[in-house]
Every structure is written in C-alpha cells, then in structure tokens.
Amino acid sequence: MPLLPKTPSPSRRTLLRGLGGSAALGALGTLAGCGVPAAYVAPGDRAATDRSATERRLTWANWPLYIDTDDRHPSRRPTLEAFEKETGLSVDYIEEINDNDEFFGKISPSLMNHQPTDRDLIVISDWMCGRFVRLGWVQEMDRSRQPNVTKYLDPLLRSPAFDPGRKFTVPWQSGITGIAYNRRRLGREIRHVSDLWAADLKGRVTLLSGMDEAFALLMQGNGVDITDWKTDDFHRICDQVEKQVAKGQIRRFTGNDYIKDLSSGDVLACQAYSGDVIQLQADDPDIEFVVPEEGAELWAESLMIPDLARHKANAERLIDHYYRPEVAAELAAWVNYVCPVPAARDVLASSDDEETAALAEDPLIFPDAAMRERLAIARDISAGERTEFAKRWNGIVGV
C-alpha cells in the first residue's frame, strides 16, 4: 500500500458549479421546440458493434486529480498501469471533465443525434447520470463480466431511484453532504440541521448555492425521506431559507469557496462535503464534519458506458478491476472519498504504514454502522420539476 500523498487532491464536488443544470435542459427543450427529433434513444439503438476482442484498448474520460498517482512520477497512475499490464489493454485516460453541465453540453450533440462520442467510459455526478439514464444515452452493463461489482458494491449505493439495481451506472467514488463547523470557535456541538439557525451563528452560516447539492440535507432537517420527497417538501425548504436570508442568518451561498470562509473563521458552520473536510482537518483539527441526527445525503460520481461505445467489454472489465478490494483500497488511500467498496477497509487496516492503516478508521472514508443508518440517496429532480425548482432556488440564491 502506498504512502499517502503529501498534498491531498482537491474535492471533485468542489469543482461542481451549481446552477442546477437548467441551462443544459433548456437547450434540449429548445431543440424539441424547433422540431428537432426527440433526444431519447430506445434500448435497441444504443449499442454499436463491440470491437473489444480485436482492438485492445478503451478511452476513459474522468475529472482531474481523481485517480492515484506516483509520488515521484505524477504522470504515472499505478492502479491503471496495473490493469494495463495484467490485461494487455491500453487505456487512453483523459482528464477532461471539469463541470457536469459543461461536459453534458460537450457530448450531448453526438448522443442526441445518435453518433459516437469517441469515449468508452465517463464519470459524472449521479444527479447528472440520472439525466443520461432517462434519455437512454448509456448502455446497460453486463454484470457477468463484473463479478467484483456484483460482490463488493456497497449496499447503500446499489439501487438509487434514477437507476434501480445500478444497471447503467457503477459508483466511482462516493461522499456525504453534511455540516462542517469549527467546534473550538463555536464552543459547542452541532447535531441537527436546525442548529444552523441558532442566534449565535447569525451571519456566520453558508449554504451551497447549487440546488442539486443543497436541497436534500435541508429536507432531511425537516424529517423528510429524501428517497421519496414531494414538491411541497421542496417549496417548504425554500420558504425556510428565504426566512433565514431575510433575518441575516445566512452569510452567503457558496461553491467550493466555503472552504476559505471556514478556514478563516468568517464562517463557523456550513453545508459541506465530506471529502473537503478530510483535507481541512489536516490543517485545522478543530474543524469537524457531522452527519445530523436527521440524516445526510449520500452521493456518488459514477462510471457509465455511453451509447455507441466501441469497446464496451473492455470498459466493463476496467470497472470490475477497480472493485477488487485491494485496488479500491489503493485508490481510497489517495482520493480520500467514501469508498464504494467496504471490503477495502480491511485491506487498508492491514497496511504496515500507520497513516494508511489509520484511514480504515476514518468514518468519512468508511462510515461506521451508526453513520450508515443516517445516510440516504436522494431522489433526483425530474425533468418536469427542474425548470420550476431552479427558478425558485436561483431567485433565493441570487443567481
């Protein structure tokens, strides 16, 4: 097991830009209104002739800094190189995804016009994966080629509402949206979402600006089952947030810049992503991450095989490689997200390196039983809901 990197990689969630995806959906709606054929692709039209047996390669699009690298040779990726050596397959690994909506806009013209994207594997956030699944832009995977996925995928991640049974998607890494706070400066614990509205936090609280990133945790504070929330639940949290904005309780709405506010002390508590807090704690142990007693949102960024991919079997084989517990453990030691392979915990725990072994006990990488009971995957915002909801949310946030 490799030593931890000296400088943790930035969070994938910190790269998201939270406009709720309304621009991309609006583009689809405009096309439909102009008489362009519907973007949906039927199941029988999604596959191309698979060249995996004769072309020993695949192309994989991922986010920057989202895979293990070699300390001495940063351009080398040990787990990926091990796959290439073992299988004889060549992987063209492209770090081209910086934003869900931006990437959607980049490849959607090909997908809606039933043309290949020249990518065999992509990684995007689950709320965006849901859109691809609904549009029929990704292919169902052959689990007979993926025994490790079948055996080791975390039960909490196995059946999100947008993809029951994970037929079209497989989590790459996962994380939690909860609350981060500075316990020393605040002088007390935070245990509930409603604690953000306490008088001693007036003007020292931030919420996430992205609708898809923010809404679920706020609903959970109201006791809502986020796997089956309703329209009224959404508008109720909007009413509550509007009230807190009017009172001056909320300092501002943020993207990843909440990290700077929390570190400087300008903010004492905020909505936050678990992966960010692991990094913040390395510099300031007074910063804590809490899964509220009412619960928190578990999310993932997932692997998908787009329509007309030419090397589907090779892509399925690569996905299964990363579900070997020893490979998942090596990856988790570098990226420090919630590992979608719980069996990797024992691999890390057996490491001779103390820092690496300690990761097995970090609940933000391997949530303990008590935390797992409070985690849920939110039902995503449907296409029919998105325009109305984005308009209201963005009006509150000031977008």
Once rounded to an integer, what is the mean pLDDT over residues 176-203? 97
Residue 71: band (very low, low, confident or very high) from pLDDT cuts 50, 70, 90: confident
Mean pLDDT of 331-356: 96
Helix residue ranges, H only, the chain: 22-33, 78-87, 100-112, 126-135, 147-152, 183-186, 211-221, 231-247, 258-264, 274-283, 312-321, 325-335, 344-349, 354-358, 369-372, 383-397
Comparing 126-130, 150-154, 256-260, 333-337, which segment has the lowest mean pLDDT?
256-260
Per-residue pLDDT tens digits for 321-332? 999 999 999 999
pLDDT of residue 257: 86
Q: Would the pLDDT of 157 be above 70? A: yes
Confidence band, pLDDT 50/70/90 cuts, at residue 38:
low
Express as a percent the part of the chain with pLDDT over 90: 84
What tens digit of pLDDT does each residue of 248-278 get?
999 999 988 899 999 999 999 999 999 889 8
Q: What is the pLDDT of residues 87-100, one digit of tens each?
A: 999 999 999 999 99
Token reading at 230: 């309703």
Residue with the bigger pLDDT between 79 and 21: it is 79
Say what percent of the chain tops pLDDT 70.
90
Degrees to nearest 5, angle at CA 225 with 220 and 228: 130
- Please tell me the total number of residues recorded for the chain in this structure: 399
pLDDT at 113: 94
The pLDDT-based confidence of 305 (bands split at 50, 70, 90) is very high
With a threshold of 0.85, does the pTM exceed it?
yes
229, pLDDT greater than 50:
yes
CB 310 within 8 A of CB 120: yes
Q: Output the pLDDT for position 5.
A: 39
pLDDT band for 28, please (50, 70, 90 cuts).
Answer: low
Question: What pLDDT does 256 receive?
Answer: 80
Average pLDDT of the chain to the nearest whole number: 91
> 387-393 long-range contacts, Cβ below 8 Å, gap at least 24?
387/22, 387/25, 387/26, 389/20, 389/211, 389/234, 390/19, 390/20, 390/21, 390/22, 390/211, 391/22, 392/235, 392/238, 393/20, 393/211, 393/214, 393/215, 393/238
| pLDDT of 40 strictly over 90 | yes
Q: What is the pLDDT of residue 383?
A: 86
Does 107 or 36 have the greater pLDDT score? Answer: 107
pLDDT at 377: 95
